[in-house]
Structure 1
Amino acid sequence: MDYSQLATQIKAWAAELGFQKVGICDIDLSEHEAELQKWLDAGYHGEMDWMARHGMMRARPAELLPGTLRVISVRMDYLPQDALFAADLSNRRHAYISRYALGRDYHKLLRNQLKKLGQKIEQQVGQLGYRPFVDSAPILERPLAEKAGLGWTGKHSLILDKEAGSWFFLGELLVDIPLPIDEPQSNQCGKCQACITSCPTNAIVEDGVVDARRCISYLTIEYDGVIAEEFRRAIGNRIYGCDDCQLVCPWNRFAPLSEQDDFQRREILKNPDLVSLFLWSEEQFLNNMQGSAIRRIGHIQWLRNIAIALGNADYSSDIVDVLQRRKGINDMLDIHIQWALEQQFNQIPIQGTIDTKQQRLIRIVQKGLPRDA
Structure 2
Amino acid sequence: MTTSTSDLTPQDRFLAIRDEIRREALALGFDACGFASAADAWPNGEWLRQFVAEGLHGAMGWMEETLERRSHPTAMWTDAKSAVVLGVNYGPDIDPLTQLEHRDRAAISVYAQGDDYHDVVKKRLKQLAGWMHRRWGNDVKVFVDTAPLMEKPLAQRAGLGWQGKHTNLVSRQFGSWLFLGSVLTTLDLPPDEAEFDRCGSCRACLDICPTGAFPAPHRLDARRCISYLTIELSGPIPDEFRPMLGNRIYGCDDCLAACPWNKFASLSAEAKFHARETLKTPPLAELAVLDDPSFRALFSKSPIKRIGRDRFVRNVLYAIGNSGDAALMTVVEPLRSDPDETVRDAADWAAARLASAQVS
TM-score tier by shorter-chain length is over 0.9
Whichever residue aligns with residue 340 of structure 1, its letter is: A
DSSP-derived class of the 2:263 partner = helix
1:291 shift after superposition = 0.5
Contact 1:77/1:256, CA 8 A, preserved across alignment: no
CA 1:156/1:86 → structure 2, altered by over 3 Å: closer, same or farther?
Answer: closer
- The root-mean-square deviation of aligned C-alpha atoms, in Å, is 1.6
CA distance in 2, matches of 1:109, 1:332: 32
Q: Quote the sequence identity (%).
A: 37
1:315 shift after superposition = 3.0
Deviations 1:129-187 (A, max 9, x none): 11111112111111100111110110000111112101110001110110010111121
Identify the residue that residue 75 of structure 1 maps to in structure 2: 87
For 1:67-106, what aligned pairs fall within 5 Å after superposition?
A: 67-81=79-93, 83=94, 85-106=96-117
Tell whether 2:144 aligns with 1:134.
yes
For 1:12-91, what aligned pairs fall within 5 Å after superposition?
A: 12-27=23-38, 28-81=40-93, 83=94, 85-91=96-102
DSSP-derived class of the 1:6 partner = helix
For 1:1-373, what aligned pairs fall within 5 Å after superposition?
A: 2-27=13-38, 28-81=40-93, 83=94, 85-126=96-137, 128-256=138-266, 259=269, 263-270=273-280, 272-317=282-327, 319-329=328-338, 330-349=340-359
Query: Taking structure 2 as the reference length, what is the TM-score of the superposition?
Result: 0.92
CA distance in 2, matches of 1:95, 1:257: 27
Unaligned residue ranges in structure 1 (runs of 5+): 351-373
CA distance in 2, matches of 1:123, 1:134: 21
1:94 shift after superposition = 0.8
Deviations 1:288-313 (A, max 9, x none): 11000111110001100000000000
1:87 shift after superposition = 4.1
DSSP-derived class of the 1:143 partner = helix
DSSP-derived class of the 2:207 partner = helix
Whichever residue aligns with residue 336 of structure 2, its letter is: K
Unaligned residue ranges in structure 2 (runs of 5+): 1-9
Contact 1:24/1:179, CA 8 A, preserved across alignment: yes
Query: Taking structure 1 as the reference length, what is the TM-score of the superposition?
Result: 0.89
DSSP-derived class of the 1:162 partner = coil
Whichever residue aligns with residue 140 of structure 1, its letter is: M
CA 1:15/1:99 → structure 2, altered by over 3 Å: closer, same or farther?
Answer: same
Deviations 1:227-281 (A, max 9, x none): 0011111110000000000111111112235746783221322451001111122
Whichever residue aligns with residue 235 of structure 1, its letter is: L
Contact 1:78/1:260, CA 8 A, preserved across alignment: no
CA 1:258/1:141 → structure 2, altered by over 3 Å: closer, same or farther?
Answer: farther
CA distance in 2, matches of 1:117, 1:309: 41
Deviations 1:298-357 (A, max 9, x none): 00011000000000002323x11211111222111111111111111111146xxxxxxx
Q: Which has the larger radius of gyration?
A: 1
Whichever residue aligns with residue 294 of structure 2, its letter is: Q
DSSP-derived class of the 2:357 partner = coil
Contact 1:95/1:274, CA 8 A, preserved across alignment: yes
Whichever residue aligns with residue 66 of structure 2, its letter is: H
Q: How many residues align?
A: 347
CA distance in 1, matches of 2:31, 2:182: 14
Whichever residue aligns with residue 210 of structure 1, its letter is: L
